[in-house]
Amino acid sequence: FVNNVLTKIAKANGIEVAPKEPTLPIWKAFAKNQFLVFVSSVFLLLASGYFFYGWVMQIGVDQDYAPIQPIHYSHRIHAGSNGINCQYCHSAARVSKNGGIPSLNVCMNCHKNIAEVADTTATPEYTKAFYDGEIQKLYDAVGWDKANQKYTGKTKPVKWVRIHNLPDFAYFNHSQHVTVAGIECQKCHGPVQEYEIQKQFAPLTMGWCIKCHRETDVKMEGNAYYTKIHDELSKKYGVDKLTAAQMGGLECGKCHY
């Protein structure tokens, strides 16, 4: 714009103006500027490293993993519609490190007498005939003759597909969280009462666990095991309630030893 204005003024005053030199395309001009090339290269390398690191950090994180099981089990019907407590089936979670896969005998506690589902529990995707067929798979697995109401002795193992799988170097105890800490199953496993197919709700990463330890207060009601150390540390930190982190929940040896 400035050049055009000056050219017009020069011509108006009879001044000869030298012809314009041809301009370089912007990519050629950029390539000739070594400083811009250097800065751009550094930026691209850092950006590539950032996105590569983010991608690598997702390896082994199976959040939302929802495999198809050999026998379809609807948490929506059992834990939701029927209101069955999680720990009725996963009773090991109260007393052991592992949550445990319930044996088929636990299923048969109810399904000896329940050979079909109610019409109200069916959906367009999962029909009554589908659910009844899955119950028949259970009978075939345990060797149950529903017509004669007795076991035949002919069983078939069920190869369940594991959903939650922590690495071997990470220690996690269900009983410490469920019984001692009083944490609800949904805290880690999500709203299972709404799931038709169970999935991994949380990322189960180290950062996710640490965040929970920093935000969760230690349950003291009826928990005499922690009374003494809680009283001492609460005075030290000047708080009424301690988080799991303040009770030592961030020590490496708690989960890795």
Residue 43 and residue 94 share a domain: no
Q: Does the structure show a pLDDT above 90 at 82?
A: yes
For the chain, what is the domain count?
Answer: 3
**226 vs 233: CA distance, rounded Å:** 10
- Quick: pLDDT tens for 146-182: 999 999 999 999 999 999 999 899 999 999 999 988 8
Structure tokens given for 130: 């589908």
For residue 246, give Cα distances in angstroms to 29, 81, 177, 184. 59, 39, 16, 21
Residue 199 and residue 119 share a domain: yes
For residue 122, give Cα distances in angstroms to 29, 67, 110. 68, 21, 19
Is 35 domain-assigned? yes
Is 165 domain-assigned? yes
Q: Does the structure show a pLDDT above 90 at 95?
A: yes
Cα 253 to chain centroid, rounded: 24
Is 185 domain-assigned? yes
Residue 102 and residue 24 share a domain: no
Give long-range contacts, CB 8 A cutoff, 24+ apart: 134-139.
Answer: 134/71, 134/72, 134/73, 135/111, 137/70, 137/71, 138/71, 138/104, 138/107, 138/108, 138/111, 139/111, 139/115
Q: Does the structure show a pLDDT above 80 at 223?
A: no
Residue 144 and residue 90 share a domain: yes
Residue 224 and residue 200 share a domain: no
Residue 161 and residue 212 share a domain: yes
Residue 206 and residue 238 share a domain: no
The verdict on pTM exceeding 0.85 is: no
pLDDT-derived band at 7, boundaries 50, 70, 90: confident
Domain extent for 243: 217-257
Is 9 domain-assigned? yes
Residue 46 and residue 166 share a domain: no
